[in-house]
Amino acid sequence: MKTKILFFLTLQLYFVSNLTAQVQPKQNNFWKKVRFGGNLGLDFSNNATSIILGPSAVYQVNDKFSAGLGVNFGYANFRRFDTKQTNYGIRAIALYNPTRQLQLISELEQNFVNTTTEIQGQDFKNSFNFPALYLGAGYRLGNVSAGVRYDVLYNEDKRLYASPWSPFVQVYF
């Protein structure tokens, strides 16, 4: 009886070890579906200089939808009013492509702004923060998309831009 049990356990152990040897470890495909990129904005005029940098990463859920996170940094210098402004923030991004060329975009941002204005040798500082929810559409060609977006939470009293409408160009690799 002991011999039969020992034989049965040995046979079972043999089959279990062969079965587990056949199982391939799952490969993590998460990073293969992450795309990096973002946007860059430069504006130079007689009275102002503005630089905006917005790196981000999105996860490609399927062929039509991707979502991710980003950060944004900005600097502006208005020579006419002797004002310097810096801003930074975080954002959640959702991109939907109903067709290969059309891209719908949604971005929820939280922005923090610091402004310094010099008047007659004295600095006046103002700091504030505000949310922004951009909804927009653009034309997509490969890794690049360009279009226009609208801030539905736009507030005249707490704003970074002169208008709730803003063009965008973004690249994801």
Domains, the chain, ordered by start: 33-172 (2.40.160.20)
pLDDT tens for residues 88-134?
999 999 999 999 999 999 999 999 999 999 888 899 999 999 999 99
pTM exceeds 0.85, yes or no:
no
Residue with tokens 């290969």: 100
- Output the pLDDT for position 91: 96
Q: What is the pLDDT of residue 150?
A: 95
- pLDDT at residue 73 is higher than 70: yes
Residue 20 contacts residue 14 (beta carbons within 8 Å): no
Question: Who wins on pLDDT, 37 or 41?
Answer: 37
Give the range among 15-29, 78-92, 135-149 with minimum mean pLDDT. Answer: 15-29
Measured at the alpha carbon of residue 129, what is the angle toward residues 123 and 133, in degrees to the nearest 5?
140
For 89, residues 6+ apart whose C-beta sits below 8 A from its C-beta are 71, 72, 109, 110, 111, 112
Single-letter amino acid code for the residue at 28 = N
The answer to whether the CB of 79 falls within 8 A of the CB of 48 is yes
Per-residue pLDDT, 4: 57
